[in-house]
Structure 1
Amino acid sequence: MSPDVHAVDPGRCGVISSQVAPRRELILRAAVQQRLLDPDGALLAGFVDFDAVATRVGSLHSAFPSSSQVLHTFAAKANCLVPVLSELRALGMGCEVASPGELAQALAAGFAPEQIVFDSPAKTRAELRHALDLGVAVNADNFQELDRIGEILKARSTPSASRIGIRINPQVGGGSIAAMSTATATSKFGIALDDQGSQERLVRAYRERPYLNWVHTHVGSQGVSLDLIAQGIAKAVAFADGVNAELGRRQVTGIDIGGGLPVNFTSDETAPGFDDYVAALHEHAPALFTGGYDIVTEFGRAVLAKDGFTAAYVEYTKTSGGRRIAITHAGAQVAARTVFMPDSWPLRIGVHDPSGAHKNSEPVVQDVAGPCCFAGDLVATGRELPLLEPGDIVTLLDTGAYYFSTPFHYNSLPEPAVYGVRVDASGDVHFQVLRPAQTIDQLLARHGH
């Protein structure tokens, strides 16, 4: 057992060691010392390690061949905080958005329109007009949306600068989490490529609309294998090749291959990595890298999940039916996926004393519960962890994406503060407020008072 970390592997309910853990402890201790976490007020907070994010984004850029023209966009849904998006922009990324709110956040973060891709299965006419006026790239989800786009473009006095494409569903199947699988036979997303008559109708759409010059696909993310993702992208490349061959011209010039790299939630290891993803593409879709197509990616979870964590105080502990239970301030409001789908989204839990130091006591089976007023508000059940006591701090690891950045407003619990973190060469920790903690007055205003 490593003396410097206690984080549970959900699959084994054991204790794992980590090289990353000392850095997290350094950050947590500094947060306590600077009273960003405080048992009398700041009971819950999220942290994003910007140094680690920069390294991860660098690995994404270096994984793709330098000979390819690639725009790596960040899926804003994964963490829509404007300062986070601004940081990613500074690291050379674009932004994928799926709502008018996310589009506004991307623009506020400083992304140029040509760096933004607008994906959504339910774009309104007003949203489409706005995107086309700005010059944001648009991926149409269905034939009816294509008709809307055509009507808007016809009414314009000048051409739009937007790159316009069609999202196809390659129908290659699903992974282990149905909700994350977007290329099943009946997926809500895109135009089903293998449905009867679909390919012929798609080719006709490109023929009749010379401004259609992109193809988009996204197979899924967590629970979907790299081979399945690559197979779906291979079908998109083959479709683009077929359109160009059928039309006798290079009309399709770019392929948006989505994102979807799964994240390892069982340890600090990054596996698979972006290089593994690109290797799978080389195996299944080598034509993607021949220089015939520009490429857009849309990674979200893989960029931020492992470089963020949530920290919360333990308020009470008790025993019920022989089971130890720790009541903490981190539950469904910041970990909705884990609470409502614990088998699909298990999280590692770190255990710390009030100073932020890792606790090293003998593991005890216990539940880690949140503050929400329903019985299922548990972030861990039956885990072997060092004994939790009131005033201790728990950390929910790998939560930089889709967790504290997108709170669930159950019980009207205020949104927690979120901090960006950098550590200088001297080991000093510097925090940046990414989102201040919501006050009760702000909460009341949000609810009509």
Structure 2
Amino acid sequence: MSTPLSAIQKAGLLDQFDSAFLLMDFDRLDNRLAQLLSAFSSKARHAIAIKTNPMKSVLSHIVQSGLMLEAASFEELVLAEESGAKANQLVFDSPVKRVWELEACARRWPGMVVNANNLTELPRLAALSELSIGLRINALVETTAHEHYNVSHVSSKFGVPIQQREEIIRACVEFPITGLHMHSGSGVTGALDNVPAVEKIVALAEEINRVLAAASIERRIDFLDIGGGLSASVDQEEMRIYGAAVSAIPYLEKYRIITEFGQWVHTPIGSAYSVVESVDGVGKFRPQAYLHLGADFLMRHIYSQPRKLQFNVYDRHGLPKDRGECFAIDLVGPLCFAGDVLAENVLLPVIDEGYWIEIADVGANTYGLWSRHCSRAVPKIISCQQQVYKIEQERAVIPF
């Protein structure tokens, strides 16, 4: 019985120093992108969040598939360009942008979308006619996002609160704004949570366009960037229902639509594998398996635990261990602090030194959040497409 791990071992892609590695499945990525495209109108465009998984070969694959990339920093824009993205495939959403960065955007990527985070940013964009300028609006809606990732409250640092309606409309008259942008939060488990926010943004765009027409200004709000934020737990049918609900909003068809999904796309495409360095249970409440991946790779999980991780056990040859009889064990990471614990009291088959643990569905907010704590190397990254495995990035020590 062949598994991805045994196939990778047989192909000789691991050496004695590879105590862990990451696996990116491009077939799963293609499937996820196809689901996203089918859920929305064919006129909608989709900018996939770079920060969620900034691996260059993944970004290149997305670009080659005809989708856009959403950057949260100027450095991510450069990474997108290096991955093959053109100006019409770029959205820049950083809440903190330098003047020189905006000017560089206008020179290097004329026509790209730049979303201003607040009203005070607009004067910096006023003379940059080469850019397609959006204004981020905080729609002030309730969602199922975790409090750490909820950006739709009145004290959020993101966007202009929609209750500042007069100021927003006045800004859209004064400055060359052609789009509105919104994003309510990340890890939203309710597929329809964002619909009220989109409805508010559409109504606001309609009002702005009426004011522009009354003022004899030819410019209009013509695109709506409705963000993303859905949890990977939202399944294909729920995504289809969300896309249909958005498409049914009155007057939405007037506008070009951009989405910005990240974790929903990336989570299922990535798995991580670690050798079990040792198992120790002497004098402890439960046995502990010591792994080579922990809070360095799973920082978000360790600190906020947004979901339970799924683990699979393989023997030294990469073959799966039978789950017929399982025992309680703790899985702990390699970092020198007490909180580096991946799971406690998890039921798994008997684990021995030299076995492998797979952590499934960790393609989002993991590699991109890699921690330098304890100065451990970033593991080798391997890709899979149509059962062909290849090394995308060698194990790398971060220079300090």
Range that drifts further, 241-250 or 252-261 = 241-250
Deviating more after overlay: 429-438 vs 320-329: 429-438
Q: Which moved more, 1:248-257 or 1:48-57?
A: 248-257
Please, which of 172, 176, 182 is the counterpart of residue 206 of structure 1? 172
Q: Shift in Å at residue 338 of structure 1?
A: 1.3
Cα deviations by residue, 1:261-316 (Å, 9 ceiling, x for unpaired):
2112xxxx946643132133246x3432x2x0001111111111112100110001
Distance 1:187 1:272 in 2: 31
After TM superposition, give the deviation of residue 388 of structure 1 in Å: 1.4
Distance in 2 (CA, whole Å) between partners of 1:381 and 1:341 is: 15
Structure 1 residues 366-412: Cα deviation after superposition (integer angstroms, max 9, x where no partner):
11111111111111111111121111111111111111343111100
Query: How many Å separate the matches in 2 of 1:254 and 1:353?
Result: 53
Q: Cα gap change, 1:60/1:165 in structure 2, threshold over 3 Å: closer, same or farther?
A: same
Shift of 1:436: 1.5
Residue 360, structure 1, aligned to residue 322, structure 2: yes
- SS, match of residue 365 in structure 2: coil
Alignment identity in percent? 31
Counterpart-to-counterpart distance in 1, 2:189 and 2:251: 22
Q: Distance in 2 between matches of 1:341 and 1:84?
A: 26
Query: One-letter code of the match for 2:7?
Result: A
- Number of aligned positions between the proteins: 392
SS at match of 1:180: coil
If the length of structure 2 is used for normalisation, what is the TM-score? 0.93
> CA offset at residue 358 of structure 1?
1.3
Q: How big is each residue's C-alpha offset from its partner over 1:64-85, in whole Å with a ceiling of 9 and x where there is no partner? A: 123xx22211100011111110
Quote how far apart the aligned CAs of 1:224 are: 4.7
8 Å contact kept, 1:350–1:395: yes
Is the Cα contact below 8 Å between 2:145 and 2:186 reproduced in 1?
Answer: no
Secondary structure, in 3 states, of the residue corresponding to 2:316?
coil
| Residue-by-residue CA offset, 1:316-367 (whole Å, 9 max, x unaligned) | 101142301100111011111111222x232111111112221115111111
What secondary structure sits across from 1:89 in the alignment? helix
SS in 2 for 1:179: coil
Task: Give the match for residue 142 of structure 1.
Answer: 118
Task: Check whether the contact 2:13–2:390 (CA below 8 A) recurs between aligned residues.
Answer: no
In 1: Cα distance, 2:243 partner to 2:295 partner:
35
In the TM superposition, residue 95 of structure 1 has moved relative to its aligned partner by 0.5
Q: Which amino acid aligns with 1:310?
A: A
TM-score, normalising length: structure 1? 0.83
Contact 2:191 2:238 in 1 (8 A): no
Task: Report SS of the residue matched to 1:302.
Answer: helix
CA contact (8 A) 1:313 1:394 kept: yes
Q: What is the aligned counterpart of 1:259 among 222, 228, 232?
A: 228
Find 1:340's aligned residue among 303, 327, 336: 303
Distance 1:128 1:250, change over 3 A: closer
RMSD of Structure 2 on Structure 1 (CA): 1.8
Q: 1:330 pairs with 290, 293, 314, which one?
A: 293
8 Å contact kept, 1:216–1:255: yes
Aligned mate of 1:57, from 16, 20, 33: 33
Q: How does 1:260-299 map to 2 (within 5 A)?
A: 260-264=229-233, 270=235, 273-282=238-247, 285-288=249-252, 290=253, 292-299=254-261
Q: 1:35 Cα deviation (Å)?
A: 3.7
| Distance (whole Å) between structure 1 residues aligned to residue 158 and residue 116 of structure 2 | 10
Shift, 1:87, TM fit: 0.5
Give 1:432 shift.
2.9
Residue 388 of structure 2 aligns with which residue? Answer: 430
Q: Among residues 169, 187, 197, which one is paired with 1:222 in the alignment?
A: 187
Residues 126/414 of structure 1: CA separation in 2 closer, same or farther (3 Å cut) = same
Q: Is the 8 A contact 1:257 1:298 kept in 2?
A: yes
